[in-house]
Structure 1
Amino acid sequence: MDQRIINLFDEYTHAPLSRQEFLERLVKLAGGTALAAAALAALEPGYAQAATVAEDDKNLVSEDVTWPGEAGVTMRGYLVRSKGRKKRGAVVVIHENRGLTPHIKDVTRRVAQAGYLALGVDALSGFGGTPANEDEGRTLIGKLDAEQNLNNYLRALAYLRARPDSNGRTGCVGFCWGGALANRLATHDPQLNAAVAYYGRQPDAAEAPAIKARLLLHYAGQDERVNAGIAAWEAALKAAGVRFEQYLYKGAQHAFNNDSSPARYNAEAAKLAWDRTLKLFREALG
């Protein structure tokens, strides 16, 4: 697919670009309505086709849970674990800028399948939860108070540590908007053991010395917007003595892990990044 079309979609999903303007520009770039429709079908999510772990997997137990959030908000999450009574490491799964979508719930099940207590947090709990319409989800994400949202995720980590089926060790993995938040959780939670950021924006370099967790940073080679901050963040992490690994997946697009978006999904990069993610969790969470 024309890189300009992928870049336009990235602009649409991350900037205040209306769907009407996006579609008008897409038609021009694609060279017609029919070609634009084909491009859109490859870009927008097809959740049912991309599910990796079935919702009714007989080896998993899932439930909807709540915990107290900031400003009186009741936070909601999708908690999944494998069957059995053993204590295990716990992982917060942080969604993209659309909310707790079926894709992120599927990722949560993948984490649980690997042996962890996995919690997919719905950052939009205060708005009644993630809407089915992704444009609405993006709009609501933009209305979140950044500090309250951060504290809600910190409370999610505390909730997991206090559960009787947790071994007290915690990690997080986030994608895009969630990747940026994974970085921020590492700078604000000294008890966090591991943080994995997929194509996430970097915090201010001055925050690096506060990090106690091990970091794993996945970047897409074609992601100029996010990659502009790599060098400064890498230098800050090295100066602070933070244990981190970072990988740049050449040729991969932003959101290369999202297998519900065929045009941007990169199976080879996604598998390699996921294997590296689980390796860190095994080492840091038990």
Structure 2
Amino acid sequence: MKKLNKEDINPAVFELYNDYAHNRLSKEEFTEKLSTYAVDGWTVASLVTFLMPDYKDAIQIKPDDPRIVTEYISYPSPKGGGTIKALLCMPAGNQKKLPGILVVHENRGLNPHIEDVARRAALAGFISLAPDALSPLGGYPGNDDDGRALHNQRKPDEMLEDFIAGFECLKKQEYCNGKIGVVGFCFGGWISNMLAARVPDLLAAVPFYGAQAPLAEVPHIKAALQLHYAESDASINSGWAAYEKALKDNGKDYTVYHYPGTHHGFHNDTTPRYSKADAELAWKRTIAFFTEKLGK
């Protein structure tokens, strides 16, 4: 059996994985539908293994990278989960106040990939905070399947409160100058849109393939928005046209990028949905946007 490559995979497989990752398919339904694509000697098991994240070999900035300083902290979230654990990162040797970036995970908790993104933000010259909304249930359990199951046990509005409290925590950090943006992915993209509407002092929000805020919330948005969408992501993209109209009608500061040929999750370099060129371009745009809106 030859080695699986992304180019060999029918795009429908990635859509099935997307439905499974967002609880639109059970594991049994996912594997049953996946069997249609188990051809050329590939098994369902080999396809599942190929689709799952690789946190061992795909991390870009290691936890012990000497260029940054990291620590786990906890902060109160009285309207949300009570006490939330988070990863705090900043450039090594920093002695000045920096802008802050709140980094919001997908629907599986603070996994190694999102911790990596938080470290990347610090390496770019910001102080970053990546909360774990699974903290009230023991935190990220070590694998994404169990992480999704825990995530489903929490109420979205309570988790939103956890990230609003995270904004306040980051703002109070010794080396944060109070100018804060948020970047989030999938579920975190929705949180980013919601924070833009709910937190008046937030200066910039970068949702990656996240559900849009309710249209009634748009008039309250004060933060500048930079939005990133995959081409093949029907459930998320279906809400964009109405959201864009509301942003325009209300005179909001926004920029949107659509990435041809990409799937939901294209920025996540631990899964085969990853599109290297598009992810690097999107991150370059993100850092430039934060630098423009928050300063350095």
User: What TM-score, normalized to structure 1?
Assistant: 0.96
Aligned position for 1:75: 84
Structure 1 vs Structure 2: percent identity of aligned residues? 41
Aligned position for 2:59: 51
Aligned position for 1:275: 284
**2:199 is aligned with 1:163:** no
Q: For residue 151 of structure 1, report the CA deviation from its aligned partner.
A: 1.2
Paired residue type of 1:200? G
Pick the structure with more helix per residue: 1
**2:67 is aligned with 1:64:** no
Q: 2:13 aligns with which of 2, 5, 28?
A: 5
Between 1:154-163 and 1:19-28, the stretch displaced more is 19-28
Count of aligned pairs between the two proteins: 285
* CA distance in structure 2 between the partners assigned to 1:118 and 1:13 by the alignment: 26
* CA distance in structure 2 between the partners assigned to 1:272 and 1:12 by the alignment: 27
Between 1:195-204 and 1:147-156, the stretch displaced more is 147-156
**2:52 is aligned with 1:41:** no
Q: 2:108 aligns with which of 74, 98, 103?
A: 98
Give unmatched runs, 5+ long, in structure 2: 1-8
* CA distance in structure 1 between the partners assigned to 2:176 and 2:52 by the alignment: 36
Task: Please report the RMSD computed on the Cα atoms of aligned residues, expressed in angstroms.
Answer: 1.4
Q: After superposition, what is the alpha-carbon deviation per residue over 1:122-176, rounded to whole angstroms, capped at 9, x for unaligned?
A: 0101101111132221111112122221111111101111112001100100001
Paired residue type of 2:32? E
Aligned position for 1:258: 268
* CA distance in structure 2 between the partners assigned to 1:78 and 1:152 by the alignment: 14
Q: 2:160 aligns with which of 150, 171, 176?
A: 150
Q: After superposition, what is the alpha-carbon deviation per residue over 1:251-277, rounded to whole angstroms, capped at 9, x for unaligned?
A: 111100000002x10011101111110
Report if the CA contact (8 A) 1:12-1:22 is conserved: yes
* CA distance in structure 1 between the partners assigned to 2:15 and 2:287 by the alignment: 30
Alignment partner of 2:99: what SS? strand
Report if the CA contact (8 A) 1:65-1:79 is conserved: yes
* CA distance in structure 1 between the partners assigned to 2:232 and 2:218 by the alignment: 25
Q: 1:184 aligns with which of 194, 201, 208?
A: 194
Alignment partner of 2:129: what SS? strand
Paired residue type of 1:46? D
Change (3 A) 1:16 1:219: closer
Q: For residue 237 of structure 1, report the CA deviation from its aligned partner.
A: 0.5
Runs of 4+ in structure 1 deviating by more than 4 angstroms, as ranges, are none
Q: For residue 283 of structure 1, report the CA deviation from its aligned partner.
A: 0.9
Paired residue type of 2:233? D
**2:96 is aligned with 1:86:** yes
* CA distance in structure 1 between the partners assigned to 2:144 and 2:98 by the alignment: 33
Give unmatched runs, 5+ long, in structure 1: none
Paired residue type of 2:239? G
Alignment partner of 2:278: what SS? helix
Paired residue type of 1:274? W
Q: For residue 28 of structure 1, report the CA deviation from its aligned partner.
A: 2.5
**2:250 is aligned with 1:240:** yes
Q: 1:17 aligns with which of 21, 25, 48?
A: 25
User: What TM-score, normalized to structure 2?
Assistant: 0.93
Between 1:127-136 and 1:90-99, the stretch displaced more is 127-136
Q: For residue 58 of structure 1, report the CA deviation from its aligned partner.
A: 0.7
Between 1:80-89 and 1:15-24, the stretch displaced more is 15-24
